A and B are shown apart, each in its own frame.
Chain A
């Protein structure tokens, strides 16, 4: 068989899949976003910018997403970095692999069920009751932004730890020794040597978490109880309840556009800061 023909044959199924299930649907979203809503919902062909002009109607969802997604990313980063540092440089090498797998595994298990676990912890008969029994007042935890934040950090922490760990593990340990030999106290070595050298991992991890948070639906739905909603929740409402497809398509297209712009700007800033390259790690 000619090599060119074999390449074409091997690529055929993936190409068909990408075109029919990715390119075509995304094109349909863009086309629909310029259309009008039918009387019974659905879509009527038209060319109008009304859907985009109307985006303000869902401003709360965009505002929540654009504040809580970056906040969640930063919280994940603050909690993940010391753990990745511990795993890469301080943990017993014999246990390193097991400890790392223990961090990654939760990410690949059902987010739905892991979020559901927090309903029981933060719900009325969980933590709040324990706090009340201790005589510390009666806090309301479930269905608050706090609950959503806990769920987000819980859900996406593993995704942040892994790339930072990879960056720290590759780091040349002699640099750390040199820093110590030259009289730097440990905290200074961490700040001036370890932290800058982990920037590629920090960039990858933050980007992955941020992208997933921008499209989040489950955590705000389950732990925010409809009071703290993201663009994802607005989309579900527009497509499955009010069946306003053209407006929903405009919201979805805007979400992807905002994501692309933020991520591109962010990556450019990081590249300029570190001068290094970024490796996207998926697992």
Chain B
């Protein structure tokens, strides 16, 4: 039994280990390890395309995670008091946002936004003349599309936490004369804080790692996964290993902190 478990863990972690190992390879060839070197990290970090893509990814991930966490938490709290048909409506939409494959979300967003922009852009230039703002796919559509899935995710996580909450505390608070807003800020918020924070971290990770939605809605922008994908098409290189190692380490740190936060407070 234990040997089986060890084998599965090896299966899960050897590929990750190989990427990390070969990112420190002195030689250019992926096949043999010829010595330790940090040169590929230097190459990657001085590549303006990588840095640009990284910046885009971080901006998109931070904004979409912040917006998703805010609106998802508000929705989860509000849905506590919603019953009947309205509740079923929201449950269905949230379920759909989580379940519809990313590739379909990407395609649907692409064709819907392009169609809407084609209608709105002539109107905008009619209104403002020469200097009219032009709507196009880019960071905005990336943030909106990533945030859709992660908002649903945050709602689910925060709602689970709210359901496990001790209602007696809220009743006591209102019996003692606290207005609802104060009870919310002093009782509910501290209790759901770990779920909110974990939701934010997971949202950030999802957006930062997403390739398929971004592939459709990025417009002329390049995120880090899009950059990596197009580099892989050109072949296996130590640079991709270096980027991969950095991305994996960053996600691992974010995730482990999310798990620790969720678990420590869940007791």
Contact = CB atoms under 8 A, between A and B. Distances in A.
A236 B102 CA distance: 12
B71 A112 contact: no
Interface in B34-89: 67, 70-72, 74-75, 77-79, 81-82
B111 to A, nearest CB: 6
Contacts of B153: 282
A256 B100 contact: yes
Contacts of A252: 103-104, 107-108
Contact of B148 (A22, A222, A235): A22
A10 B180 CA distance: 14
A154 B8 contact: no
A111 B211 contact: yes
B251 interface: yes
Most chain-B Cβ atoms within 10 A of its Cβ — which of A20, A28, A43, A236? A28
User: Chain B interface mostly helix, strand, loop or mixed?
Assistant: helix
B165 interface: no
B30 interface: yes
B74 A118 contact: no
B97 A7 contact: no
A110 B15 contact: no
A66 interface: no
A235 B8 contact: no
A21 B144 contact: yes
Contacts of A112: 209, 211, 225, 228-229, 232
B195 to A, nearest CB: 11
A145 interface: no
A83 B5 contact: yes
Interface string A100-111: 011111101111
B244 A116 contact: yes
Contact of A28 (B70, B115, B156, B252): B115
B148 A17 contact: yes
A125 B30 contact: yes
A32 interface: yes
A84 B9 CA distance: 12
Interface string A193-229: 0000000000000000001101101100010000000
B107 A29 contact: yes
Nearest to A79: B8
A158 B12 CA distance: 9
Given A17-B71, A111-B211, A154-B12, A217 B4 contact: no
Given A101-B259, A110-B244, A217-B103, A14 B212 contact: no
Given A109-B255, A211-B99, A119 B12 contact: no
Contacts, number: 231
B111 A283 contact: no
A3 B244 contact: no
Interface string B219-255: 0000001001100100010001001100110011001
Contacts of B110: 239
B71 A13 contact: yes
A116 B97 contact: no
A82 B211 contact: no
Contacts of A97: 263
B196 interface: no
B105 interface: yes
Contacts of A99: 5
Interface of A: 1, 3, 6-8, 10-11, 13-14, 17-18, 20-26, 28-29, 32, 43, 79, 82-83, 85-87, 90-91, 97, 99, 101-106, 108-114, 116-121, 123, 125-126, 129, 154, 157-158, 211-212, 214-215, 217-218, 222, 232, 235-236, 239-240, 245, 248-249, 252, 255-256, 259, 282-283
15 contacts: A6-B78, A14-B74, A22-B96, A26-B104, A82-B4, A108-B206, A108-B209, A111-B209, A112-B232, A113-B248, A114-B15, A121-B18, A157-B8, A235-B104, A252-B103
The 4 A-B pairs with the shortest beta carbon distances in the complex, nearest first, are A215-B101, A25-B108, A125-B31, A10-B78
Interface of B: 1-2, 4-5, 8-9, 11-16, 18-19, 22, 29-31, 67, 70-72, 74-75, 77-79, 81-82, 90, 93-94, 96-105, 107-113, 115, 144-145, 147-148, 151, 153, 155-157, 180-181, 202, 205-206, 209, 211-212, 215-216, 225, 228-229, 232, 236, 240, 243-244, 247-248, 251-252, 255-256, 259, 263
